[in-house]
Amino acid sequence: MRNTARWAATLGLTAAAVCGPLTGAAGAAPAAGPSSLYAPSALVLTTGHGDNAATATPERAVTLNCAPTASGTHPAAALACAELRGIGGDLTTLQTRDDVWCTKLYDPVVVTVQGVWQGKRVAYERTFGNTCMKDALNSSVFAF
């Protein structure tokens, strides 16, 4: 129960940092038309040890904004945004490298992505057998 509350608090604080505070009586801004030529792409990425996001304690969280330019707290924001554009934002297509050998030690690591990619809501969760398996992804998206 305590881990779930910590996880929710981390996601809530990070989402507030990415999306900004809510305004108005219902938290909705008036419809005044688009304020940018770019569809929003703002993501919160987390990683922690555990079998799934509901039971894992988040250990790291970063933000990643990809439009109009790459920014956020992700250490390789420009590269991660380029990789996401290359796969059309479909995180399920990320593949592991063939040249990495990992032990079979089971110490599960869960990664999550919440937010908006090119104007569409994104919710992604993936559990790896251990940190080596997560790091074997041929991508910098979860390298934080």
Q: How far apart are CA 124 and CA 34, in angstroms?
A: 27
Model pTM score: 0.73
In the three-class reduction of DSSP (H, G, I as helix; E, B as strand; rest coil), residue 67 is classed as coil
22 Cβ contact partners less than 8 Å away, ≥ 6 residues apart: 28
- At residue 36, the pLDDT reads 57
Average pLDDT, the chain: 83
Domains of the chain: 2-18+38-135 (3.30.350.10)
Band the pLDDT of 32: cuts 50, 70, 90. very low
pLDDT of residue 68: 87
Question: Which tens digit of pLDDT belongs to each residue from 48-102?
Answer: 999 999 999 899 999 999 988 999 999 999 999 999 999 999 999 998 898 999 9
pLDDT band at residue 22 under the 50/70/90 scheme: very low
pLDDT score of 24 more than 50: no
